Amino acid sequence: MTDSPRQAAELLARHGLAPRRALGQNFVVDPNTVRRIARLAGAGPGDHVVEIGPGLGALTRALVATGAAVTAIEVDHGLVEVLEAEIAPLGVRIVEADARTVDWADLLAAAPAWSLVANLPYNVATPLIADLLDGVPAIARMLVMVQREVAERLVAAPGTKAYGAVSVKVAYWATATVVGRVPPTVFLPRPKVESALVAVERRPAPAVGPEVDRDRLFELVRAGFGQRRKMLRRSLAGLVTPQAFEAAGVRPDARAEELSVEAWGRLAEAVA
């Protein structure tokens, strides 16, 4: 069990392990927190949940308690051995793999729709969420615990300081909401940052119509936010003509953070 920092430390010691900073390992060691995360994930009997980074398995146990079928992906071989001993007997499928490179189609072949739950380290959170939205349609919902600043970017609206390319990416595929805060005191070791819980719900269809080329849209988004202080007529020079700005109803003197995903879609369609 890992219901307290002491129990987590004892479990690590029994297996000769310690949290690895290189992997961003901060284990949740508070039972109320993991129960809250499992509840917010909305999992229940008949559901399929994939958990990234189960660590010592505290959240995994809470997910199992909902009645859902749980698959846990862990990259750390030492922790996989702990999970095989402590968590696999509960009926959890343990997969030793890197979530950034695993074959998701094969991993999720058992069911058409999955929920994802993850405590994601700062250095992989943003690209991983973007890749899952782009390439793993079987994941219909996510509940991710990330650094507070990352959460703000995932859910940011146009015109706000946190709004950026990843905000557009999330809005294209899904709706996202911060549904809770998580203090550093519930982790072992304690991080120096606050964390937040973000619920991501995949849309039935992207926010812009099928007539819009997705690759072109995000080419424009990357270029616009790559020079976000500049007006779009400068940051998108060579990509968007004055006529395309006019056709899209987008001001060439606007800046990237002013455009909603729908406006980016109109711009991509006008360029085409």
- Same domain flag for 196 and 226: no
Residues 6+ apart with CB under 8 A from 149: 162, 193
DSSP-derived secondary structure for 4-69: SHHHHHHHHHHTT----GGGT--EE--HHHHHHHHHHHT--TT-EEEEE--TTSHHHHHHHHTT-E
- Same domain flag for 106 and 177: yes
- Same domain flag for 118 and 83: yes
Answer yes or no: is 207 within a domain: no
Domain of 38: which CATH number?
Answer: 3.40.50.150
- Same domain flag for 187 and 153: yes
Answer yes or no: is 143 within a domain: yes
- Same domain flag for 109 and 193: yes
* pLDDT the model gives residue 189: 85
What is the C-alpha to C-alpha distance for residues 141 and 5, in angstroms, rounded to an integer? 30
- Same domain flag for 263 and 177: no
Q: Which of 155, 184, 188, 143 is nearest to 49 (CA)?
A: 143
Position 192 pLDDT exceeds 90:
no
- Same domain flag for 198 and 229: no
Which of 202, 223, 248 is where one domain is finished?
A: 202
Total domain count for the chain?
2
Answer yes or no: is 19 within a domain: yes
Least confident window among 12-16, 201-205, 245-249: 12-16
- Same domain flag for 137 and 223: no
- Same domain flag for 266 and 171: no
- Same domain flag for 110 and 241: no
- Same domain flag for 111 and 174: yes
* pLDDT the model gives residue 25: 80
Whether the model pTM is above 0.85: yes
Summary mean pLDDT of the chain? 95
3-class SS of residue 218? helix
- Report the half-sphere exposure of 118 (CA within 13 A, side-chain side): 26
Which of 202, 228, 246 is where one domain is finished?
A: 202
Answer yes or no: is 209 within a domain: no
Position 1 pLDDT exceeds 60:
no
Answer yes or no: is 208 within a domain: no
Q: Indicate the pLDDT class of residue 227, thresholds 50, 70 and 90.
A: very high
The pLDDT tens digits of the residues spanning 124-177 come to: 999 999 999 999 999 999 999 999 999 999 999 999 999 999 999 999 999 999
Q: 16 is written with which tokens?
A: 């000769």
Residue 52, domain extent: 5-202
CA distances, 179 to each of 36, 152, 196 (Å): 11, 11, 8
Answer yes or no: is 197 within a domain: yes
